[in-house]
Amino acid sequence: MNGSDGDKGGSSMIDFSSPYYLHPSDSPKQPSVNEVLTDGNYNDWAQEMTNFLFAKNKIDFVDGTLKKPETSSSQYKSWMRCDAMIKGWLTTAMEKSIRDSVKYAVTSSEIWSDLKERFGKESAPRTYELKQKIAATRQDGSNVSTYYTRLRSLWDESHSIFPFPCCSCNKCTCELGKKIAEHLEKQQLYEFLMGLDNDFNVIRTQILATKPVPTLGTAYHMVAEDERQRAISNENRVAPESAAFKTFQKRHNNFKSPKEKYTTTQEKESKQNDQCTFCGRNSHKREGCFKLVGYPDWWPGKKDDKAKPKAACVDTGTSPIPGISEEQYQAFVKFFSGSGNNVETKSEANMAGNRDGKLVGLRTRSLIGSGKKSHDDYNGHMAKRLGHASRDKLSNVKMEEEHAVPHEEPEPRSKRVRSQPTHLNDYVVSLPPSVTNSQPGSSQANSTDEKWRNAMQQEIKALEKNGTWTLEELPEGKRPTDSKWVYKTKFKSDGEVERYKARLVAKGFTQMEGVDYHETFAPVAKLVTVRTLLAVATKKDWIIHQLDVNNAFLHGDLDEEVYMKIPKGFEKEGETRVCRLRKSLYGLKQASRNWYKRLTSFLLSLNFKQSKADYSLFTYQKAGIYVAILIYVDDVIIVGDNSKKIQQIKQQLDDEFSIKDLGPLKYFLGIEVAKTKDGLVLSQRKYILDILKDSGMLGCRPSAFPFEQGTKLDKGEKEARVDATQYRRLVGRLLYLQATRPDVTYAVNAANRVLRYLKGTPGQGILLPREGPPVLTGYCDSDWLGCPFTRRSRTGYLLLLGGSPISWKTKKQSVVSRSSAEAEYRAMASTVSEILWVRWLLKDMQVQITTPTSLFCDNQAARHIANNPVYHERTKHVEMDCFFVRERVETREIEPKPIESKLQLADLLTKGLGTQQLRSLLSKMGIRDLHAPS
């Protein structure tokens, strides 16, 4: 018995309506649905499975209606047997990956509930996919029934995910639900009509013009009837006459026709009296003219013709050729009927042609163009439609082959197997790794990339941990700022990928000054300060470490009321709240200032003092311990003479801001720092290789010097114009290269020549020597009337600290100098100003300078003006500079000294030099190349 036989004392009658009834053919592996359950077809699968369980009278087991009885109940075994059967049906209709996740479920109801929880909820991506498929669905030549079925399945699945909203109070009398259903049906009608082929344009227009618009079912019936009528019409239509261009197969024939060979004399005389009205020759009439009817195979001129079998341009129907006028048609017939070969196509490129091309009817074999004339037109109307098929036939014609002889051009390339020369067997090619890495684009393009997705998750976690925002409703009158994701690949100095970084950046350009922000300025470390601090630390053998603040801008407190939209990729369906920013975020106008303000207040609380010479420098001096911190946004250099104190400060910074300890300084702001036995070497090798790679100059021929000696830069109007944007970008990158390359400072505008020079010296940099006292020395020079356009002079100066170049500059003077002495003196004044600032900066680094700073100038007049206390006519144009320089000379801060021009280091910054002079000055300046062969 297959009923409720768990109750042995029950009746022996089988109750087929009982949910415990199992048919003898039922088995756990019985197929129940057409397709197994996958991640994307739950709705269809659940509908089929529900129908199957209803048919088996087992739906009560999965929906929880029929509860599991107690173990003491007489129906317990029957319930367990039926439930096990249902579990088999469910698991059989699943993918293995899904089956493995539910194989330990106790009851079928648990499996059903778990699947519904996992796959049955609203799925925005699946809904988007369905809407996209509906919009892209087209008939594409299929019948209307197939096309409608595809649309109907997409509509039903979309409706199962987002069903109609229904009234829950049952008190509505406006029939809103009915109106919503009618509105949805009308949308489906438009989607159905949009995807129909162009053959249904007429019936589509009729449906849209009907008032009121028919229902979807009525519209489908009208379109299907129109399709059926078209099919009947095509079956009963008789195929009309066809015409085509055709050339006949010719054969080699060196013998004349027997008819021509045995012609009688009487016949010859009769033919000679005939004259053709077409070609004007005797012995034949117009209807027998070979120029009209074609030459026979035995014609003498045909014996050397080659076979040329091909056909094209078949036409049927009675519609006229679109776009061809009567005059064009006549010219078309005249061209093909006249003498000469046909126009060659690719398939005819290497084939001989007929002496005369003809147009011939395929069925009648008659020549088109040889009929009687009527009103200067040919009677044969079929000829007017050559090359064009009727529209009612084109839709049913399937082209499966070409009506032409296929032909391919011979390929002038050998087919033999190639092998490399034997002398190259031992040749080794060095393939260095790429120096660049393309950065990704939008967040949509990287949302599926695991490494960038993880970087985005880390950024969001850091923001939430830091309390950057709170979710609040947007107040009335406020406008939220948008945001975007910025991706950056961080590299080490050797080009190896360090980490992938995703940064959430607010679109600060939408902020309004005075409303969303007020002050924005924040100081950063000058490169002169960086070089000076490293030079002093090297001289005194201090510890030099580097720190990186994680999410630096996020630590700044935000005083203004700023709202931002939820970041892209992390939105939630139905969420109306926005982010109220409590702390600064990258991209905000005031972010850098707020971060600097927060960091400054914290360092001051640790008894640090802020330098007056450079506000980004903080020093700690207490109990014989010296520690200096230099800040460039979120990159920090920390130097000092006490390792324990440095470690303590690192821990305090980490507790407050979460920092990353990068250890000894190796790579800072694109500058590579290498420690040698002689000191520190600062270079930008990777940066130079990136510039050469982006400019396409990696393979250029190197140059021995950056600028031709005695050359002046000109506009070059006679030369080819260059891309101004690309040139400005290149010059901007070369300007930053001056951080470690004073040798390209003057020639930076001659971009291509500089790139060739850099190709030969990519690893060249400045040496900060360990040995020697920290003595400050200055060099100044000028190039009088150096600019050929404005006639203004150029100033160049260089400062050395114990042989280490720490500051240099090349700049065009603001006014025109009337003499070389004026130009030199203005250069001297600029150098004195820089010397005074560096002396002030060195005091904060525990470097006491008690002696005057030597300033070397190769212009005697400028030195005399600096030492002469009397003002005269030569000094009236530089009177302010005279007061400034003389006052510093009198206070023994500056001491002008003479120097030979060939030893003037500042010459490198004001003019082009020869190779020998350039190398000599670079050596004296402390320029080294670690990568140069020894």
Reply yes or no on whether the pLDDT at 332 is more than 80: no
Question: Confidence band (pLDDT; 50, 70, 90) for 524?
Answer: confident
pLDDT at site 305: 45
Reply yes or no on whether the pLDDT at 438 is more than 70: no
Tokens representing residue 534 in the block:
């490293």
Spatial contact of 292 and 278, defined as CB atoms under 8 Å apart: yes
Better-predicted residue by pLDDT, 295 or 369: 295
Tokens representing residue 354 in the block:
């007929």
Alpha helix (H) ranges present in 562-679? 591-605, 643-657
Could you tell me what percent of the chain has a pLDDT over 90?
Answer: 13
Tokens representing residue 505 in the block:
């950046």
User: Using one digit for the tens of pLDDT, what is the confidence trace for 209-242?
Assistant: 888 888 888 888 888 888 888 888 766 654 444 4
User: Using one digit for the tens of pLDDT, what is the confidence trace for 713-728?
Assistant: 666 555 556 778 888 8
Which amino acid belongs to residue 154? L
Q: Which whole number is the average pLDDT over 493-522?
A: 76
User: Using one digit for the tens of pLDDT, what is the confidence trace for 586-623?
Assistant: 888 888 888 888 899 999 999 999 999 999 999 999 98
Question: What 3-state DSSP class applies to 633?
Answer: coil
Phi, psi (5° rounding) for residue 447?
Answer: -65, -20
Reply yes or no on whether the pLDDT at 829 is more than 80: yes
Spatial contact of 857 and 824, defined as CB atoms under 8 Å apart: yes
Better-predicted residue by pLDDT, 851 or 274: 851
Phi, psi (5° rounding) for residue 99?
Answer: -60, -40
Q: Which whole number is the average pLDDT over 493-514?
A: 79
Neighbours of 204 (CB within 10 A): 20
Cα separation, 680 vs 675, whole angstroms: 5
Reply yes or no on whether the pLDDT at 428 is more than 70: no
Please state the separation of Cα 473 from the chain's center in Å: 35
Question: Confidence band (pLDDT; 50, 70, 90) for 123?
Answer: low
Reply yes or no on whether the pLDDT at 481 is more than 70: yes
Q: How big is the chain, counted in residues?
A: 934
pLDDT at site 182: 79
Question: Confidence band (pLDDT; 50, 70, 90) for 439?
Answer: low
Reply yes or no on whether the pLDDT at 1 is more than 50: no
Mean per-residue pLDDT of the chain: 77
Reply yes or no on whether the pLDDT at 469 is more than 50: yes
Question: Confidence band (pLDDT; 50, 70, 90) for 168?
Answer: low
Q: Which whole number is the average pLDDT over 782-796?
A: 84
pLDDT at site 47: 82
Cα separation, 15 vs 789, whole angstroms: 110
Give the range among 169-173, 353-357, 555-559, 893-897 with minimum mean pLDDT: 353-357
Neighbours of 702 (CB within 10 A): 12
Spatial contact of 581 and 563, defined as CB atoms under 8 Å apart: yes
Q: Which whole number is the average pLDDT over 813-832?
A: 87
Pairing of strands 483-491, 469-472: unpaired
Question: Confidence band (pLDDT; 50, 70, 90) for 358?
Answer: low
Question: Confidence band (pLDDT; 50, 70, 90) for 307?
Answer: very low
In 3D space, the residue among 203, 37, 242, 219 whose CA is nearest the CA of residue 119 turns out to be 37
Phi, psi (5° rounding) for residue 325?
Answer: -85, 175
Please state the separation of Cα 482 from the chain's center in Å: 21
User: Using one digit for the tens of pLDDT, what is the confidence trace for 615-655?
Assistant: 999 999 998 899 999 999 889 999 999 999 999 999 999 98
Highest mean pLDDT, choosing among 91-105, 391-405, 507-521, 833-847:
833-847
pLDDT at site 207: 87
Cα separation, 72 vs 496, whole angstroms: 70
Question: What 3-state DSSP class applies to 887?
Answer: helix
Cα separation, 316 vs 314, whole angstroms: 7
pLDDT at site 544: 94
pLDDT at site 877: 55
Reply yes or no on whether the pLDDT at 263 is more than 70: no
Spatial contact of 678 and 576, defined as CB atoms under 8 Å apart: no
- What is the greatest pairwise CA distance in the chain? 144
Run of H or E including 205 = helix 201-209
pLDDT at site 448: 67
Cα separation, 767 vs 932, whole angstroms: 14
Cα separation, 747 vs 735, whole angstroms: 10
Give the range among 170-184, 393-407, 445-459 with minimum mean pLDDT: 393-407
pLDDT at site 779: 94
| Residue carrying the six token digits 């439930």 | 83
pLDDT at site 327: 67
Reply yes or no on whether the pLDDT at 4 is more than 70: no
pLDDT at site 745: 85
Reply yes or no on whether the pLDDT at 406 is more than 70: no
Long-range contacts of 329-333 (CB under 8 A, 24+ apart): 329/384, 332/386, 333/359, 333/368, 333/369, 333/378, 333/383
Spatial contact of 836 and 792, defined as CB atoms under 8 Å apart: no
Question: Confidence band (pLDDT; 50, 70, 90) for 343?
Answer: very low
Domain(s) labelled CATH 3.30.420.10 in the chain stretch across: 772-899
> pTM value?
0.51
Tokens representing residue 52 in the block:
């199957």
In 3D space, the residue among 764, 823, 836 whose CA is nearest the CA of residue 796 turns out to be 823
Highest mean pLDDT, choosing among 393-402, 488-497, 847-856:
847-856
Which amino acid belongs to residue 784? W
What CA dihedral angle connects 687, 689, 691 and 692, to 10 degrees? Answer: 170
pLDDT at site 311: 45
Cα separation, 342 vs 311, whole angstroms: 12
pLDDT at site 516: 66
Q: Which fold has domain 772-899?
A: Nucleotidyltransferase; domain 5 (3.30.420)
Phi, psi (5° rounding) for residue 214?
Answer: -65, 165
Spatial contact of 534 and 630, defined as CB atoms under 8 Å apart: no
Cα separation, 681 vs 740, whole angstroms: 9
Better-predicted residue by pLDDT, 369 or 278: 278
pLDDT at site 366: 54
Reply yes or no on whether the pLDDT at 535 is more than 90: yes
pLDDT at site 355: 44
The contacts of residue 125 (CB under 8 Å, 6+ apart) are none
Spatial contact of 729 and 769, defined as CB atoms under 8 Å apart: no
User: Using one digit for the tens of pLDDT, what is the confidence trace for 13-53?
Assistant: 677 788 888 888 888 887 778 888 887 777 778 888 888 88
User: Using one digit for the tens of pLDDT, what is the confidence trace for 899-912?
Assistant: 998 888 888 888 88
Give the range among 407-411, 684-688, 895-899 with minimum mean pLDDT: 407-411
